[in-house]
């Protein structure tokens, strides 16, 4: 080989190695950004999954319950823990250690079990937001919100084992609230579940049937070509456009209830139908034509070829594409904002027509609140949503690996 040929080969090898090196660097940088994002969210979100609680022996006094003065039950126990505190200012500092919404927890307990009246029960009640932040030591600038006397009271409670960090169960059982101590994602989780049920019930049958017709039965002409082009275009349309469509058709024309999971599911169904059609057609195309020819050769009708052979073999790809489409719908916010699912909803929805919100919208609402308690709640809700999305992707990959056939 000539010197010029050797130099060209060496140059090409250097170029290939440099290209591979750049590829590795791009992967490492992307992975570093991903780790930074995960650790940033986890650093704030894990503390949101914990809650500072104060243990009190609550005596459910009948007179206080009949007058609705549940705060009195809490204050009586605090007074018994610190009998030396007598002046009004110090008592006010003491009472502010327990979150004000704690009275609603006691109210709900009595409503659920009236036998508690007259009894004494040991209960962990949520601490005030400022106490929670101070106890977790996540925000030093918020320490100034607690005066030295309150800090000493907290240390005294800690030495007696009456204040501790516990798992934040109310975060998963309560709906939204203006008080960060009681704000939870139960309403958003149920709303997301109801919305996805409607979305899947509408989108999957329509999309799969449309894909089967276009791929297996429709004649190849300009009309079907136009339909295919429009389906591909719809898959790339910004999601907020489907929200505008849902607003104009479902709410304004048909008069359906605003911010209902039924309307949200129909809107998201419009958005994912083109994506599922494309995924289903790709899965059907992956089935070798020899299988169709063999089935027809033994007398199967075109419909039997599809239902008995083509569709079962394409089902893993169809299911994978469908699950990924549903995961995309779960993370959508813009279309649901247009149909009113951005409202402040306290109650957990019980039906498809009840006002509700969904996880991404709940995160959006909390992110606008600058209180440290809601900052933690936002990060914790993001962690929950990411875990659900990761689980859906793992299921899709597992289905593809388990049932995929190579031809």
Which residues contact residue 147 at a Cβ distance below 8 angstroms, ignoring those fewer than 6 apart?
93
pLDDT digits (tens, 9 = 90+) for 157-196: 999 999 998 998 889 988 888 888 888 999 999 999 999 9
Rg (CA), the chain: 29
Distance CA 352, CA 250 (A): 14
Q: What is the pLDDT of residue 277?
A: 94
Q: What is the pLDDT of residue 199?
A: 94
Q: What is the pLDDT of residue 397?
A: 83
Q: Which domains does the chain have, with CATH numbers?
A: 51-166 (no CATH), 186-403 (1.10.3720.10)
Bridge pairing between strands 163-167 and 120-126: unpaired
Q: What is the pLDDT of residue 15?
A: 86
Whole-angstrom CA distances from 182 to 100, 150, 172, 304 are 10, 22, 10, 57
Q: Which helix (H) or strand (E) holds 102?
A: helix 102-112
pTM for this prediction? 0.84
Q: What is the pLDDT of residue 338?
A: 87
Q: What is the pLDDT of residue 140?
A: 46
- Exposure letters 109-124 (e unless 16+ CB within 10 A, then b): bbeeeeebeeeeeebb
Return the closest-CA partner of residue 188 out of 340, 360, 357, 382: 357
Q: What is the pLDDT of residue 13?
A: 84
Q: Are 344 and 175 in contact (CB under 8 A)?
A: no
Residue pointed to by tokens 């209960």: 123
pLDDT < 70 stretches in the chain: 1-3, 138-144, 404-407
Distance CA 120, CA 106 (A): 12
Q: Are 345 and 357 in contact (CB under 8 A)?
A: yes
pLDDT digits (tens, 9 = 90+) for 244-296: 999 999 999 898 888 899 999 999 999 999 999 999 999 999 888 888 888 88
Q: What is the pLDDT of residue 352?
A: 92
Whole-angstrom CA distances from 221 to 200, 264, 279, 282 are 31, 35, 22, 19
Q: What is the pLDDT of residue 405?
A: 67
Q: What is the pLDDT of residue 407?
A: 59
Distance CA 390, CA 387 (A): 5
């Amino acid at each position: 080989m000539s010197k010029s040929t050797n130099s060209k080969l060496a140059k090409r090898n250097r170029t290939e190695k440099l290209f591979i090196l750049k590829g590795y660097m791009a992967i490492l940088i992307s992975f570093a950004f991903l780790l930074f994002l995960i650790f940033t969210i986890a650093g704030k979100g894990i503390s949101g999954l914990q809650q500072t609680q104060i243990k009190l022996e609550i005596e459910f006094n009948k007179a206080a319950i009949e007058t609705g003065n549940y705060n009195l039950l809490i204050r009586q126990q605090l007074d018994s823990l610190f009998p030396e505190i007598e002046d009004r200012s110090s008592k006010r500092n003491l009472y502010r250690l327990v979150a004000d919404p704690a009275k609603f927890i006691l109210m709900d307990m009595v409503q659920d079990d009236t036998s508690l009246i007259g009894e004494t029960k040991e209960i962990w009640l949520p601490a005030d937001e400022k106490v929670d932040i101070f106890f977790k030591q996540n925000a030093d600038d918020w320490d100034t919100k607690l005066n030295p006397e309150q800090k000493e009271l907290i240390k005294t409670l800690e030495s007696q084992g009456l204040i501790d960090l516990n798992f934040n169960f109310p975060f998963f059982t309560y709906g939204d609230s203006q008080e960060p101590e009681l704000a939870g994602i139960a309403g958003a989780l149920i709303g997301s579940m109801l919305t996805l049920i409607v979305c899947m019930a509408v989108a999957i049958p329509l999309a799969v049937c449309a894909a089967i017709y276009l791929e297996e039965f429709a004649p190849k002409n300009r009309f079907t070509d136009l339909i295919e082009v429009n389906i591909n275009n719809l898959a790339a349309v910004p999601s907020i456009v489907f929200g505008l469509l849902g607003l104009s058709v479902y709410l304004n024309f048909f008069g359906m209830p605003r911010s209902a999971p039924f309307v949200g599911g129909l809107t998201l169904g419009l958005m994912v139908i083109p994506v599922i059609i494309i995924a289903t057609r790709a899965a059907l195309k992956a089935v070798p034509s020899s299988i169709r020819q063999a089935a027809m050769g033994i007398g199967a009708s075109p419909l039997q070829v599809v239902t008995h052979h083509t569709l079962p073999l394409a089902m893993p790809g169809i299911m994978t594409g469908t699950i990924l489409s549903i995961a995309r719908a779960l993370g959508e916010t813009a279309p649901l904002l247009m149909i009113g699912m951005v409202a402040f909803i306290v109650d957990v929805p019980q039906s498809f027509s009840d006002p509700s919100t969904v996880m991404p919208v709940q995160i959006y609402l909390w992110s606008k609140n600058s209180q440290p308690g809601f900052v933690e709640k936002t990060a914790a809700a993001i962690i929950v949503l990411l875990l659900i999305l990761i689980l859906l992707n793992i299921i899709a990959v597992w289905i593809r690996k388990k049932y995929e056939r190579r031809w």
